Structure 1
């Protein structure tokens, strides 16, 4: 096996859990769009701290850690769920706001960002497990990859397989060629279609781009690759992507709150938190490019479901991770092992790599797996430790005037500190309170 050092900043910024990988520097931008500074949203002395939900005895350190993170950054809405060996031991909603109508609950919905990729990868593996899809199938044999008129597809496109899409080895590198999933206005002009564009428009435009690397040769984080995977799920299953996910992935777990997110405030789901940013950008929903707050219309959430557009609660997302603990009927051990297997290339110098929708690090006693998500107005992380402790953290903000970072290291480190200091864990299981 040959190994190359991943260059994608989202890969680099995630450290292995339990202190088993070195922290690395981060770059601004995350998974979202470029935007223009709109002036700061003033902090206010009238904010109040409110906590909802339940927790087992002795877990107050988690509340304190989240309170410190949120108050330092003036994050209005947060949620944390902690699971240990299949039991939900903490389910919290946190509010730090002067808006008395805002009351975050453990079941409040947040945009999930790139944690959505694990949901898509699970749907793909279910199709593979059921004998309906092969990991070695070329993307060109599964969906229409006809490039725009006047362009020619890269001759290496036929080497882009389902497995390589899942592991970000398809050859697209947004550090070289701009991420086509954020090129709405350019795509509309190139294809001669009106805004807002659709997923098929993104696929077609991307099919005409030259690959930045030979498929399978270089790890480069690719939202476009997971857009293609969502389209593959639709084509192979014969049903809408979100419908297939609900039927085959979520319903067996009793998860009913998840749904595809919407871009505009008017499309907010019942129970969904508001999103905040200090930046504005041009809308991708009208030709004039109306200036909007970046979380609401500077990018198209509806097009991002498979790569970053799901809504979920922290409670439901830790429940989703039970699939990988082999306590559900969704995936077999063979399927989960395939998802966490080392790729043909892309092993990080610190010993971790990208599996199928998860970062993975082999450690004594098992594997640590994790991921983060970042969009304008969204910061999310999920962590599965080899010792059976899992948590999901969801925030409704990813920037503020403090200049403090919102990366995986910064959000996760204080939670690891709390977990590492625990000597006795509660045996309560709160899942029954949040059906």
Structure 2
């Protein structure tokens, strides 16, 4: 992608958001004087003694000029901090604890939960090959890899299907090539992605090598639809979110014109060719350089920080969504893929066994999005959401960098508030 050379206000006009009171952040060459005009604003509530979390978020956001951020912290099932943070020179932009952000790959735990609900209800088996569940017919003129029959639901959930984006480019980002190969117009659909991927040679024997695969989670979303008989998002909302009282979550849209009520704007210093027209019109990277609608099951859900920590209560065994046996299966060690630090990928979660329990976590990354969810063995959970993943400073947005200051605050806190803020939002 190329660096955007437009000014901050021009960028806002390009997105069509000027009339909404939402301005874009400083882009290339605009750090310094313009950044100094920004103001820091917080919304929401926090229990006493938790100011360190606010300070950590302020430091992270101001160093990178991130306009919108949100943090929710839960301890032993109780919401003790719910914040929206704004670092902007636009007084009309105000992030709330319930503001919606693209979750990116935090969506994978949602899909894994939906799959396990089907397994729990006896409608699906983890050992069933994907080829017996959905149409994996390859494009005309190509032959499916004979090993596809070894790709089971369990292996898809644990990224053991055999697709490796470090060897073969991620098929979920090959929109233009897929359209050409299949002879279909842009924008392509999920079925087009599935068909194209079915014609690719596997990079590894299924079950032999861990390799993170968006395509595998695309297939899982299609499996949920096929087995449940419902649209993927409808099944998730009925069986995963509704029992928790979560009503704000919804699939995201690619273009700014499709922005949901309460959704933040997204920012990047880069532009890219649109995947929505044959000409490849240059667009701001977060708005049309990839297809969010096709990514719901692997990375396209919208949620707030408050709603996402509420979602994690499923894994604390305090809801009716999944049983202990189902949660244990999600966090069980895979047949391979244990790394040198002792962590591994379960079903939609990274997992590490530690003294006293397990730590589970996931991060998400898209143009215009950085997200992290962390569940600590000591009962502390947080979700942190940003509307940016790059900026001219070159500072990192990786899991360790973003999480370390939050862990430091949690580790240094000796007295935790007894409040529960969930009643303010449900």
Matched, 1:398 2:389: yes
Matched, 1:427 2:393: no
* Counterpart for residue 351 of structure 1: 342
Matched, 1:175 2:166: yes
* Counterpart for residue 376 of structure 1: 367
TM superposition shift of 1:101: 1.4
- 2-structure distance, mates of 1:209, 1:235: 22
Match of 1:312 among 303, 312, 327: 303
Matched, 1:37 2:3: yes
Matched, 1:75 2:41: no
Matched, 1:88 2:79: yes
* Counterpart for residue 284 of structure 1: 275
Flag structure 1 segments of 5+ consecutive residues without an equivalent.
1-34
- 1-structure distance, mates of 2:232, 2:147: 27
Partner SS, residue 399 of structure 1: coil
- 2-structure distance, mates of 1:296, 1:342: 38
* Counterpart for residue 19 of structure 2: none
- 1-structure distance, mates of 2:330, 2:401: 27
Matched, 1:417 2:415: no
- 2-structure distance, mates of 1:431, 1:36: 43
TM superposition shift of 1:434: 1.1
- 1-structure distance, mates of 2:156, 2:127: 10
1:322-374 alpha-carbon deviations (Å, 9 max, x no partner): 00000000000000000000000000100000000000000111000000000
TM superposition shift of 1:37: 2.1
TM superposition shift of 1:419: 0.3
Matched, 1:407 2:373: no
- 2-structure distance, mates of 1:56, 1:434: 16
TM superposition shift of 1:242: 0.2
* Counterpart for residue 92 of structure 2: 101
TM superposition shift of 1:91: 0.1
Question: What is the CA RMSD across the aligned residues, in angstroms?
Answer: 0.5
- 2-structure distance, mates of 1:282, 1:145: 29
User: Residues 30-429 of structure 1 correspond to what in structure 2 (within 5 A)?
Assistant: 35-39=1-5, 40-41=27-28, 42-43=30-31, 44=34, 45-429=36-420
Partner SS, residue 37 of structure 2: coil
TM superposition shift of 1:38: 2.1
TM superposition shift of 1:260: 0.1
TM-score calculated relative to the size of structure 1: 0.92
TM-score calculated relative to the size of structure 2: 0.94
- 2-structure distance, mates of 1:364, 1:350: 14
1:142-186 alpha-carbon deviations (Å, 9 max, x no partner): 000000000000000000000000000000000000000000000
- 2-structure distance, mates of 1:426, 1:139: 47
Instruction: Name the count of aligned residue pairs.
Output: 401
TM superposition shift of 1:46: 1.1
- 1-structure distance, mates of 2:251, 2:330: 23
Partner SS, residue 393 of structure 1: strand
